[in-house]
Amino acid sequence: MKIVYLVPGLMPDEECRRREGMLRAWAAPGTQVDVAAVDEGPFSIESQYEEYLAVPATARLAVRKEREGYDAAIVGCAGDPGLEAIRELTRNMAVFGPGATSFLAAAMLGNRFAVLTPEGEMTQSNQLLAIRAGVRDKLAGSVSMGLPVLSMMDDRDATLKRMLEASRRAVAEMGADTLVIGCMTLAFLDFSGELEQATGLPVVNPASSTLKITEAMVACGLAPSKAAFPLPPKMADPQKPVDFTQLYGRRE
């Protein structure tokens, strides 16, 4: 089984390789996991606008990886930028997003889950994500840590302290019984164990949980429905490879 983790924004090679090592450690024997990053896009994704900026390059990268023979892809952002579009463009590769996947996992583990987010107001985007995942009734809310994504790795202890404070607010103010880490940078800092010990609640790490669910789906021979995510009409000829020039041009 071959799975590619798609980084939808600009990321240093060193960090890509660190995340690749963690994914490979979580993977089951016999699963090959590779990390591939776009060569253009936002520096971090902390708004819906930045999510949209990430989609074109990530979609092109996904199509290229399908041609290279990957069985599945994970869109490496907790907001799942372009997930539905990428599912349209890929014919056989199973594509999953850590946002919807972790929300569905949390919905199985409790009655009310809260999402721990970086700096900024992510309430609306998480509500939309929960609606698309079909679990809006179980979303208790989003709690911002007030910390920019690009500073989270500067001081691990300080970031953990912010996460613990946000977790306690989620429980006290929202009645959350399950927590979801709503940022992939936080996911790869791997605080789940510390948060579970401090709160006594299940904590869904979107990186590890999405990898394991993706493995299970591929092992079961399951992939997103092409009836739900059909190829764009301009690309519908099954004998022809996806050609982005059929969809996008520039006025001379």
Question: 162-172 pLDDT, tens per residue?
Answer: 999 999 999 99
CATH architecture of structural domain 99-206: 3-Layer(aba) Sandwich (3.40)
* Axis-axis angle for helices 123-133, 48-67 (nearest 10): 40
- Every domain of the chain with CATH number 3.40.50.1860 lies at 2-97+209-246, 99-206
Tell me the residue type at 114: A
Q: C-alpha distances in angstroms, 14 versus 20, 21, 72, 115, 163?
A: 10, 11, 23, 28, 25
pLDDT band at 121; cut points 50, 70, 90? low
For residue 169, the number of C-alpha atoms closer than 13 Å in the C-beta half-sphere is 15
Question: 52-108 pLDDT, tens per residue?
Answer: 999 999 999 999 999 999 999 999 999 999 999 999 999 999 999 999 999 999 999
Question: 126-161 pLDDT, tens per residue?
Answer: 899 999 999 999 999 999 888 788 777 888 888 889
**What is d(CA 184, CA 118) in angstroms, rounded to the nearest whole number?**
10
Q: Six-digit token pair at 171?
A: 């429980």
What is the end-to-end Cα distance of the chain in Å, rounded?
Answer: 44
Question: 190-230 pLDDT, tens per residue?
Answer: 988 999 999 999 999 999 999 999 999 999 999 999 999 99
The CATH code for residues 2-97+209-246 is 3.40.50.1860
